[in-house]
C-alpha cells in the first residue's frame, strides 16, 4: 500500500509511487502492469536494483547510479535520495519536487525535462528515480566560453522548458548549469532541465519566499530570490526569477564568467548604482541581439523581464541558427 500521505497530495504523486522493499544489498520493486487476458488483467512483477556509485551531492539530496539486475534487461538509472527531515523537527518539503517531476515526465515534455519512472520511500528517506544521462550536467562542460551559435541553441531549449513550467504554474527557482543535464554535447547540444528540488507551484501570480529553506544559488539566483527587495513584494516573487537565472546561465556559457560573482555587485546593479556588466560579452564578440537579450532577462526589476513566451519571440531566439550579427565571425 502507498505510504500515508497528506490529504492535499496531488494524484500525480500518489500514482507514481513504487512499492519497494530494501534487502541487504538491493532495492526490490513490485510493479503492476496490464495483463494479456480477461483472466489476468493485471500482472505483478518484480525488479531488483543495486547501487553502483555516488554521482553527485547537493544541499538536501544525494544522487546515486543504480543498475537493474533482475526483472528486465540490464539498465542504469539515477536515483536522488532525500532525507524527509533536514534537522530534528524540521521537515523538508519534497512534495512539490515529486509533483513537478511526475508532471513533466509525461512523454509530451520528455524533450525538455529529465524523466522519472516514479518514487518510493523507506522510513525517513525519499527516493526519486530518474533517467541516467551519462554526459552529466552542463556545469561539467563549462571549461571554456561557448560559441554564440551553441549558446543560443542551449538557451532556446531551456527556454522552451521554462515555458512549459510557467504555463503549468510551476517556478523552478534554482536554474543553473548544474541543474541542466546534457543528452548530447556540442556543437549540436541537446539539454534537459532537471532537479526540481526547490521548485514551487504558484498561487495566483506569486509564490511565498517563506516556504523553503533555500531560494537559489548565488551567481544565478535573482535579486528578489535573495530577499533584496525592500518593498511589500519582498515576501513573494514570480516566475521572473527563472528568467533572470536563464540570463545568468546564458551569460556564463558565453563569457565563462558570472555576471555578478558576489552579492555586493548584484546589489549595486539592482539599486541602479552600476551598469550591466556587458564587457565580458563584448570581449567575446557576442552579437548586439545576444547582449540585449541577456540584459533584458537580467533586468533589475522582475516587472521588466519578459515571460518565457515573449522571450521565445526575441530576435536572438527567432533568427536562424548562425545568422545573428556576429555568429559568422565565430565560425
Residue 1 in domain = no
**For 20, how many CA atoms within 13 A lie in the half-sphere containing its CB?**
20
**Chain position carrying cell 526519486:** 128
Same structural domain, 190 and 95: no
How high is the pLDDT of residue 209? 40
The secondary structure of the chain, three-state, reads CCCCCCCCCCHHHHHCECEEEECCCCEEEEEEEEEEECCEEEEEEEEEEEEEEEEEECCCEEEEEEEEEECCCCEEEEEEEEECEEECCEECCCHHHHHHHHHCCCHHHCCCECCCCEEEEECCEEEEEEECCCCCEHHHHCCCCCCHHHHHHHHHHHHHHHHHHHHCCEECCCCCHHHEEEEECCCCCEEEECCCCCCEECECCEEEHHHCCCCCCCCCCCHHHHCCCCCHHHHEECCHHHHHHHHHHHHHHHHCCCCCCCHHHHHHHHCCCCCCCCHHHHHCCCCHHHHHHHHHHCCCCHHHCCCHHHHCCCHHHHCCCCCCCCCHHHC
pLDDT at 267 exceeding the cut of 70 = yes
How high is the pLDDT of residue 205? 47
Q: How much is the pTM? A: 0.86
Same structural domain, 175 and 126: no
CATH code, domain carrying 30:
3.30.200.20
Query: Which residues pair with residue 120 across a beta bridge?
Result: 127
End residue of a domain, out of 69, 104, 131? 131
pLDDT at 96 exceeding the cut of 60 = yes
End residue of a domain, out of 74, 97, 131? 131
CB atoms within 10 A of CB 28: 15
Report the range of poorest mean pLDDT among 40-44, 108-112, 169-173, 235-239.
235-239
pLDDT in tens, 284-306: 999 999 999 999 999 999 999 99
Residue 11 in domain = no
Same structural domain, 124 and 151: no
pLDDT in tens, 77-95: 999 998 876 555 445 567 8
Same structural domain, 101 and 124: yes
User: In the structure grid, which three cell numbers stand for residue 275, read together?
Assistant: 551598469
Same structural domain, 120 and 53: yes
The whole-angstrom distance between residue 205's C-alpha and the CA centroid of its chain comes to 20
Report the range of poorest mean pLDDT among 99-108, 167-176, 317-326.
317-326
Residue 266 in domain = yes
Same structural domain, 116 and 25: yes
Task: Determine the average pLDDT of the residues in 146-169.
Answer: 96
How high is the pLDDT of residue 21? 94
CB atoms within 10 A of CB 195: 26
End residue of a domain, out of 131, 163, 187? 131
pLDDT in tens, 55-78: 988 766 899 999 999 999 999 999
Helices (H) and strands (E) in the chain, counts: 9, 15
- Determine what percent of the chain is predicted with pLDDT higher than 90: 64
Same structural domain, 292 and 260: yes
Same structural domain, 90 and 153: no
How high is the pLDDT of residue 213? 42
User: In the structure grid, which three cell numbers stand for residue 127, read together?
Assistant: 527516493
How high is the pLDDT of residue 197? 59
Question: Of 215, 297, 285, 218, which Cα lies nearest the Cα of 250?
Answer: 297
Domain membership of residue 50 as a residue range: 16-131
User: What's the chain's average pLDDT?
Assistant: 86
Residue 96 in domain = yes
Same structural domain, 270 and 152: yes
Same structural domain, 166 and 275: yes
Nearest-angstrom CA–CA distance, 134 and 43: 32
Same structural domain, 65 and 109: yes
Amino acid at each position: 500500500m502507498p505510504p500515508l500521505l497528506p490529504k492535499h497530495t496531488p494524484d500525480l504523486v500518489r500514482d507514481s509511487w513504487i512499492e519497494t522493499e530494501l534487502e541487504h544489498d538491493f532495492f526490490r520493486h513490485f510493479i503492476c502492469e496490464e495483463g494479456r487476458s480477461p483472466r489476468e488483467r493485471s500482472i505483478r512483477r518484480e525488479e531488483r536494483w543495486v547501487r553502483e556509485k555516488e554521482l553527485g551531492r547537493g544541499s538536501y539530496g544525494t544522487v546515486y547510479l543504480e543498475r537493474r539486475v533482475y526483472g528486465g534487461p540490464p539498465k542504469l538509472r539515477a536515483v536522488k535520495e532525500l532525507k524527509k527531515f533536514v534537522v530534528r523537527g524540521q521537515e523538508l518539503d519534497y512534495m512539490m519536487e515529486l509533483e513537478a517531476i511526475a508532471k513533466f515526465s509525461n512523454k509530451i515534455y520528455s524533450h525538455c525535462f529529465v524523466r522519472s519512472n516514479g518514487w518510493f520511500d523507506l522510513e525517513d528517506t525519499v527516493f526519486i528515480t530518474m533517467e541516467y544521462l551519462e554526459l552529466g550536467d552542463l556545469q561539467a562542460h563549462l571549461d571554456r566560453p561557448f560559441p554564440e551559435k551553441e549558446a543560443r541553441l542551449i538557451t532556446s531549449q531551456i527556454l522552451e522548458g521554462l515555458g512549459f513550467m510557467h504555463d503549468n504554474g510551476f517556478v523552478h527557482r534554482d536554474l543553473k548549469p548544474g541543474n541542466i543535464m546534457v543528452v548530447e554535447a556540442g556543437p549540436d547540444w541537446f539539454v534537459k532541465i532537471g532537479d526540481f528540488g526547490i521548485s514551487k507551484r504558484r498561487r495566483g501570480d506569486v509564490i511565498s519566499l517563506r516556504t523553503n529553506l533555500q531560494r537559489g544559488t548565488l551567481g544565478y539566483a535573482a535579486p528578489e530570490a535573495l530577499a533584496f527587495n525592500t518593498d511589500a513584494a519582498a515576501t513573494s516573487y514570480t516566475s521572473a526569477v527563472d528568467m533572470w537565472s536563464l540570463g545568468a546561465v546564458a551569460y556564463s556559457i558565453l563569457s565563462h564568467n558570472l555576471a555578478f560573482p558576489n552579492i555586493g555587485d548584484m546589489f549595486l546593479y539592482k539599486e541602479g548604482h552600476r551598469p550591466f556588466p556587458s564587457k565580458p560579452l563584448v570581449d567575446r564578440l557576442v552579437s548586439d541581439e545576444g547582449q540585449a537579450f541577456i540584459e533584458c532577462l537580467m533586468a533589475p526589476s522582475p516587472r521588466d523581464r519578459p515571460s518565457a513566451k515573449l522571450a521565445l519571440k526575441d530576435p536572438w531566439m527567432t533568427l536562424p541558427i548562425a545568422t545573428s550579427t556576429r555568429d559568422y565571425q565565430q565560425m
